[in-house]
């Protein structure tokens, strides 16, 4: 099961701390699709999570299963009353509801109270620096909270929706199914509000701003989680506190290499599995039908070059030094010892006023389009010179854009403790050629996540039969145990 889970996570390419929620959602989708009724969904879900080692058996008892069962029944009633055969209701997708359901179940199994407390602390520290004069105060609060969840907690939309709904409509959570109907209209209205906030363009700029503020908060989080109940006493001694922070920072720097290697391996597995589908479904058949022979050179280049590029780009990641640690410690000391002064700092966030200059906008747009044509035109020229056919060229571009985006994301995550973004002398030139490739890779990664064929293969062709076998084995063990108890 561990090997199966490893390949599953590689295919989904989610942040590690979001994997369990995604597993809960995936299992429930399959179970609901196959049965449609509550039945023993809670117990089946818990058994699958235990089998796959997503949770520890110490977290589960009969009362916990009853609690999960009540949660599932509440959402299935919502599905029956409002969604029925339709996949949407008043602009709210069933996918959104499933994300809310899986997040609530995960919170019931493993409390997220510590994570919420840390997020709230970061929010309180950053909110006074968000200056938006022409917006509703409550809406700006929501946008700031979303930015903290995205940049600091690295939460996905499902988890963000759950956290916001707990603040906006706490009465929905903990209800029994028979008392939930009265909350349905308000629930849908609030979900539409949250969905609109998640799509607001201002959120991207605000998230980028918050992300630049997060390194000291990340180190402070690590300190609090490591020291636990001793943290308060250590903070009282500035010298001991600084020493503890420096040690933790050094430890995190040393872990960067392992983190990058793990991400590279997962990306290579993802690329390898996707590559097999393309080779079998498009590249090889195209060669056979059009050229009457397989172009093994193109196949080999398409198979070997993307992983090598990923290793070269993401593998050589620099580690922060003592100067960065000093900056982190000084910033954390200011956050804790001079918290009220944070609002007076000059590095505040204000929405940029866009001055429309049609001529310059047109020139820059043409120039930006030229970078796309230049980057991809150069790739097409080289591939044509190497006698790549059109199918092989499309596949090469597909994987090179994905790999570039994965490498960029890996490098960004490896720099999460850096106070200053260091750029080399040639970085602007590299950005000029690689920005179009990164943009296409970002778009492809987002769209593929919606239609990934491997998710279907794991869920319904590989995983479901495997779970049936385990269920039969589980029932056999129960039967033998019962017969043994009869003898005793």
Which helix (H) or strand (E) is 92 found in, with range? strand 92-93
DSSP SS3 for 319: coil
| 349 SS3 class | strand
CA–CA separation, 378 and 380 (whole Å) = 5
What element of type H or E holds 89?
strand 88-89
**pTM score, whole prediction:** 0.77
Burial (CB count within 10 angstroms: exposed 0-12, middle 13-18, buried 19+), residue 346: exposed
Alpha carbons 294 and 471: distance in angstroms, whole number: 44
130: helix, strand or coil: strand
pLDDT tens for the chain, 488 residues long, are: 444 444 444 444 456 668 889 889 988 988 887 776 666 888 889 988 888 788 888 888 889 999 999 999 999 988 888 776 454 566 788 889 999 999 999 999 998 888 899 999 999 999 999 988 777 888 999 999 999 999 999 899 999 999 999 999 999 998 888 888 889 989 999 999 999 999 998 898 999 999 999 999 999 999 998 888 899 899 999 999 999 999 999 998 888 777 777 777 776 776 666 655 665 566 666 666 666 666 677 777 777 777 777 777 666 677 788 899 999 999 999 999 988 888 888 888 887 655 567 777 777 778 778 888 888 888 888 888 888 878 778 888 888 887 788 778 777 777 888 886 655 555 555 666 677 888 887 777 766 655 555 555 555 544 555 555 555 555 555 555 665 555 55
> What is the C-alpha R_g of the chain?
26
């Amino acid at each position: 099961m561990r090997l199966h889970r490893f390949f599953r996570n590689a295919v989904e390419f989610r942040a590690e701390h979001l994997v369990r929620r995604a597993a809960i959602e995936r299992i429930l989708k399959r179970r609901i699709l196959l049965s449609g009724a509550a039945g023993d969904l809670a117990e089946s879900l818990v058994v699958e999570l235990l089998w796959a080692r997503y949770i520890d058996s110490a977290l589960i008892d009969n009362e916990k299963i009853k609690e999960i069962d009540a949660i599932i029944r509440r959402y299935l009633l919502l599905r029956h009353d409002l969604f029925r055969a339709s996949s949407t209701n008043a602009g709210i997708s069933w996918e959104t509801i499933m994300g809310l359901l899986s997040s609530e179940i995960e919170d019931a199994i493993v409390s997220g109270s510590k994570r919420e407390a840390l997020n709230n602390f970061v929010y309180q520290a950053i909110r006074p620096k968000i200056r938006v004069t022409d917006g509703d105060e409550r809406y700006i609060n929501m946008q700031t909270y979303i930015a903290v969840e995205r940049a600091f907690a690295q939460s996905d939309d499902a988890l963000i929706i759950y956290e916001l709904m707990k603040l906006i409509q706490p009465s929905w959570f903990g209800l029994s199914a028979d008392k939930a109907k009265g909350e349905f209209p308000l629930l849908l209205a609030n979900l539409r509000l949250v969905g609109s906030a998640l799509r607001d363009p201002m959120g991207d700029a605000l998230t980028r701003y918050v992300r630049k503020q997060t390194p000291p908060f990340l180190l402070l989080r690590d300190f609090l989680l490591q020291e636990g109940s001793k943290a308060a006493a250590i903070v009282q001694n500035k010298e001991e506190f600084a020493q503890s922070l420096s040690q933790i920072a050094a430890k995190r720097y040393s872990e960067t290499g392992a983190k990058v290697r793990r991400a590279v391996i997962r990306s290579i597995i993802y690329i390898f599995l996707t590559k097999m589908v393309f080779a079998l479904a498009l590249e090889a058949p195209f060669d056979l039908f059009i050229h009457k022979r397989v172009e093994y050179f193109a196949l080999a280049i398409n198979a070997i070059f993307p992983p090598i590029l990923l290793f070269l780009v993401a593998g050589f990641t620099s580690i922060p030094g003592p100067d960065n640690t000093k900056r982190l410690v000084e910033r954390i000391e200011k956050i804790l010892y001079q918290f009220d002064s944070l609002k007076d700092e000059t590095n505040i966030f204000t929405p940029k006023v866009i001055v429309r200059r049609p001529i310059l906008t047109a020139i820059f747009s043409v120039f930006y389009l030229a970078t796309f044509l230049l980057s991809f035109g150069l790739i097409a020229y080289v591939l044509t010179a190497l006698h790549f056919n059109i199918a092989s060229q499309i596949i090469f571009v597909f994987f090179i854009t994905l790999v570039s985006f994965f490498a960029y994301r890996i490098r960004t995550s490896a720099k999460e403790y850096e106070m200053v973004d260091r750029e080399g002398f040639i970085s602007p030139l590299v950005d000029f050629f690689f920005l179009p490739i990164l943009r296409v890779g970002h778009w492809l990664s987002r769209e593929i996540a919606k239609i990934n064929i491997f998710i279907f293969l794991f869920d319904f062709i590989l995983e479901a039969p495997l779970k049936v076998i385990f269920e039969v084995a589980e029932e056999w063990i129960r039967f033998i145990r019962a017969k043994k108890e009869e003898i005793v």
